[in-house]
Amino acid sequence: MQPLIEVDNLKTYFFLNEGILKAVDGVSFSLKKGEVLGIVGESGCGKTVTALSILRLVSPPGQIVQGKVLFKGTDLITLKEEEMRKIRGNRIAMIFQDPMTFLNPSFNIVNQVSEVILLHQNVSKKEAFEKGVNLLEKVGIPRARERAFNYPHQLSGGMRQRVMIAMALSCQPDLLLADEPTTALDVTIQAQILDLIKEIQKETHSSLILITHNLGLVAGVSSNYVMVMYAGRTVEYGRIEQIFYHSAHPYTFSLLKAFPHLDQGSKVKFKPIKGLPPNLINLPEGCSFNPRCEWARKKCLKLAPKLVEIFPEHLVACHFPLLRSRPSSRS
């Protein structure tokens, strides 16, 4: 089956006074219809910029300097702006992190949902309104017909995120980009929203790219693939079970360890990653992760590792991948 989206060596740089910030520096992946990809990493590692680059929503001083984004075979990077606009919100939709600031405070919610429908579908205002109300109902807003006229500030965080999801769903997109969709919400609400996204993804059979710093969430939406990013680059990519049970990059390994497992009780010590995420303008020489890596050797300080396939569908960018739990050693 031909992949729905294929990102090839994508590079998005920000040209600042202080220097060039390489937010995304050569990221590649592909995703088939109905599949789910989780992009994981600390804040500032380029996850969000990757998603924005797919939609070509990076604004100056940011710029896509290289790469291809093939969506159903067409390269989005070289597409005309008007053509691109027909894809945004229609074929590819995005759910943003903070529903308060990403919703317009001056418009009622049904207006913000039906706006997308009016834009991309040939329907009357009345039909668009009806569709908007139906969508609000579908994403679980109680008494949707009355609440449709509410403004964002009158809703709770969870309800706002539901509006955001309704907006993204309105044209049944082929690809959903969800950027930390639960981070700004209460813990109790997080699970509900996650379930909603999962349910909708199953139902519409669309593909989903979930961006998060939380590996638990990646498992929560039953991702097929996981991509771990660090300092603008892919450090590890693989099927979810490969990442969870056979993580090969020291960074992925530390991320898993920094994540408290309730089921394992107190047996495994919760261990935060030492050090801070790197300064993207002034990256360390060699492997970007070397200042924080326990296993860093001389080679890691000199030479940046390339992404290599160590097992089928499992790629790692590390000179010395951790292969302890594998039955066989490096091939």
Partner 1 sequence: MNKRDKNLTISTFPTGIFLEVWRRYKRHKMALVCSFILIFLYLLMILAPWITPNPNQQDLSNRYSPPSLKHWLGTDELGRDFLARLIHGARVSLTIAFTAVLIALLFGILVGSIAGYYGGFIDNFLMRFVDIMLTLPELPLLLILAVLIGANFLTISLFIAAFSWMTVARLVRAEFLGLKKKEFIEAAIALGASSWRIIFRHLLPNSLAPVIVAATLGIADAILIESALSFLGFGVQPPTPSWGNMLTNAHDFLWRAPYLAIFPGLFIALTVLSFNYVGDGLRDALDPFLKE
Partner 2 sequence: MGFYLKRRLLQTIPLLLIIAILCFILIHQTPGGPLSVYTFGRKIAPRDIERIKDSLGLNKPLYWQFFYWLRQVVFYGDLGYSYVTWQPVSKLIWERLPNTVILMFSALFLSILFAFPIGIFSALKKYSLFDYVATTFSFIGYSIPIFWLGLMAQLVFSVKLGLLPSGGVRTPGLPFNLLDRIKYLVLPSFVLALTFIASWSRYMRASLLGKLRENYVITARAKGLSEVAILFKHVLRNALIPVVTIVGLQLPLIFSGAVITETIFAWPGIGRLLFHALLRRDYPLIQGILLISSLVVILSNLLADIAYAYINPRIRYE
Answer for which of 77, 110, 165, 167 binds partner 2 (CB under 8 A) is 167
- 305 binding partner 1? (CB under 8 A): no
Q: Angle at the Cα of 49 (from 180 to 208), degrees rounded to 5?
A: 50
Torsional sign, CA 215, 221, 222, 226: negative
Does 166 sit near partner 2 (CB under 8 A)? no
- Nearer CB in complex with partner 2: 148/167: 167
Q: How far apart are CA 320 and CA 19, in angstroms?
A: 31
Question: Is residue 17 close enough to count as binding partner 1 by CB under 8 A?
Answer: no
Can residue 284 be called a binding residue for partner 1 (CB under 8 A)?
A: yes
- Kindly give, in sequence order, each residue whose CB lies less than 8 Å from that of residue 242, ignoring residues fewer than 6 positions away: 311, 313, 314
Q: How far is the C-alpha of 228 from the C-alpha of 237, rounded, in Å?
A: 6
Query: Could you say which of 2, 9, 43, 104 contacts partner 2 (CB under 8 A)?
Result: 104
Does residue 98 bind partner 2 (CB under 8 A)? yes
Give me the sheet containing 207-212, strands edge to edge: 92-95, 175-179, 207-212, 36-40, 225-230, 233-239, 314-316, 308-311
Site for partner 1 in 250-279 (CB under 8 A): 278-279
Measured from the CB atom, the residue of 212 and 254 that comes closer to partner 1 is: 254
Measured distance CA(169)–CA(120) in Å, rounded? 12
Site for partner 2, residues 125 to 164, rule: CB under 8 A: 150-151, 153-154, 164
- Per the CB < 8 A criterion, the answer to whether 117 and 98 are in contact is no
> Which amino acid appears at position 283 of this protein?
L
Pairwise CA distance, residues 223 & 210, whole Å? 8
Q: How far is the CB of 34 from partner 1 (least distance, A)?
A: 42
Do residues 62 and 49 make contact, with C-beta atoms less than 8 angstroms apart? yes
Of 22, 47, 120, 246, which one interacts with partner 2 (CB under 8 A)? 120
Cβ-based nearer residue to partner 1, 254 or 290: 290
Query: Where does this chain bind partner 1 (CB under 8 A)?
Result: 278-279, 282, 284-285, 290-291, 301
Query: Where does this chain bind partner 2 (CB under 8 A)?
Result: 52, 55, 57, 85-90, 93-94, 96, 98, 101-108, 115-116, 119-120, 150-151, 153-154, 164, 167
